[in-house]
């Protein structure tokens, strides 16, 4: 079981990050403790949404979609 998640910076509210993981709590802690180079400068992070997807292949495909232009528009329209 995989989670595709969208997190938003609490200090820089226009910054958000899309990722996927099998352990959502551990991954959010890693983002907030600065253990991810892509998100460390915008700490702390708040979870906007997490979607549980049954298999890794579909989770990766959905993550890639959310990182695309139309996927970013989808996030802005539905989750912000």
Average pLDDT over residues 27-41: 97
List the CATH number of the domain containing 14: 3.40.1440.10
pLDDT at residue 80 in the model: 79
What is the three-state SS of 1-56?
Answer: CEEEEEEEECCCCCCEEEEEECCHHHHHHHHHCCCCCCCHHHCCEEEEEEEEECCH
pLDDT at residue 27 in the model: 98
Range of the domain at 12: 2-78
Q: How many domains does the chain have?
A: 1
| Band of residue 6 on the pLDDT scale cut at 50, 70, 90 | very high
Over the stretch 45-67, which tens digit does the pLDDT of each residue have? 999 999 999 999 999 999 999 99
| pTM over cut 0.95 | no
User: Could you tell me what percent of the chain has a pLDDT over 70?
Assistant: 100
């Amino acid at each position: 079981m995989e989670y595709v998640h969208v997190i938003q910076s609490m200090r820089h509210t226009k910054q958000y990050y899309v990722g996927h993981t099998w352990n959502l709590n551990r991954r959010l802690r890693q983002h907030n403790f600065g253990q991810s180079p892509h998100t460390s400068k915008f700490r702390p992070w708040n979870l906007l949404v997490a979607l549980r997807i049954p298999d890794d292949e579909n989770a990766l495909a959905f993550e890639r979609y959310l990182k695309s232009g139309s996927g970013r528009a989808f996030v802005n329209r539905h989750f912000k």
